[in-house]
Amino acid sequence: DLTAMIAGIDPSLDIAMTTNGILLEEKAKSLKAAGLKRLNVSLDTLHSDRFKDLARRDALDRVLRGLTAARQAGFSPIKLNMVVMRGRNDDEILDFARLARGEGYEVRFIEFMPLDADGIWSMDSVVASREIIDAIDREFPLEPVPDQQPAPATRFRFRDGSQGGIGVIASVSDAFCKVCNRIRLTAEGHLRTCLFSIQEHDVKALLRGGASDDEIRDFVAAAVWQKEEGHKIGQADFVRPAKTMSQIGG
Ligand code: SF4
């Protein structure tokens, strides 16, 4: 059980979870008690019919109740990740900004990347971060959060001092690949050195094969040396990975 696994981890570590929020109503309290420090909830729409279409289940109310449960359990701030898709949910940008102000969430608007299960991505479907910030700023004036550490999200706060905050992740229009220090371990036990990796590195086989700690360390180091310079979205030699975002795990 995930809660027990988290409870077994060194409590000084910064443990965060990204979730679709469907089980939060039941689990938020026990996750908090187990030592989960930060919570990110993926939520692309506040319309039930769209949610059903995008998430392939009728569960928006459950997610919203889960968010309330998470707040009551003491998670703060809670980040909401919204992938903005032109023509599908870009008319909800201000609704999400209002939600951030109303409930104190940090809403992260993420540019749509070609990792979707439906394969509907196109360059035209990307809403650039600048456009998102301009739209919010016209309604709710924003200012940059000072002293930001290098991170995927560029963060803003509301100039009127309201609770909540806004972040944009310009993964397509202004990719931060040059300073990316991320590698991912998938649920299958494979290292992925980039979201757009075409090949993965099978750590699980080493672990199951009885490799020593030194061998595993060398394997991980060799994988990191092969880390991609970045994605090539929009370039002629871009290759779309076989795995979707939900298979990679975010
Ligand atoms: S290098 Fe890969 S994982 Fe890192 S920011 Fe670029 S696309 Fe994302």
Q: Residue 246's pLDDT is what?
A: 81
Q: What is the pLDDT of residues 26-78, one digit of tens each?
A: 999 999 999 999 999 999 999 999 999 999 999 999 999 999 999 999 999 99
183: tokens are 């590698």
CB contact at 8 A, 68 and 28: no
| pLDDT average, residue stretch 190-208 | 95
CB neighbours of 100 closer than 8 A, spacing ≥ 6?
A: 80, 106, 107, 164, 165, 166
Q: What is the pLDDT of residues 112-159, one digit of tens each?
A: 999 988 888 999 999 999 999 999 999 999 999 998 777 889 999 999
104 and 184 belong to one structural domain = no
Identify the band that residue 9 occupies on the pLDDT scale cut at 50, 70 and 90.
Answer: confident
Atom 8 in ligand 1: residue holding the nearest Cα? 195
- CATH number of the domain residue 94 falls in: 3.20.20.70
Spatial CA neighbour of 76 closest among 103, 55, 108: 103
Q: Residue 227's pLDDT is what?
A: 94
- Write out the residue range of the structural domain in which residue 19 sits: 2-177
C-alpha span between 194 and 183 (Å, rounded): 6
Q: Residue 93's pLDDT is what?
A: 98
34 and 80 belong to one structural domain = yes
Domain boundary among 155, 177, 199: 177
Measure 180 CA to ligand 1 centroid, in angstroms: 6
| Cβ neighbours of 13 (radius 10 Å) | 10
Number of compact structural domains in the chain: 2
Ligand 1 pocket, residues with Cβ under 6 angstroms = 175-177, 180, 182, 194-196, 228, 230-231
27 and 111 belong to one structural domain = yes
3-state secondary structure of 153: strand
C-alpha span between 50 and 127 (Å, rounded): 18
Q: What is the pLDDT of residues 166-182, one digit of tens each?
A: 999 999 998 889 889 89
Atom 7 in ligand 1: residue holding the nearest Cα? 231
42 and 117 belong to one structural domain = yes
Spatial CA neighbour of 195 closest among 219, 171, 215: 171
Measure 194 CA to ligand 1 centroid, in angstroms: 5
159 and 211 belong to one structural domain = no
C-alpha span between 210 and 213 (Å, rounded): 9
28 and 61 belong to one structural domain = yes
155 and 190 belong to one structural domain = no
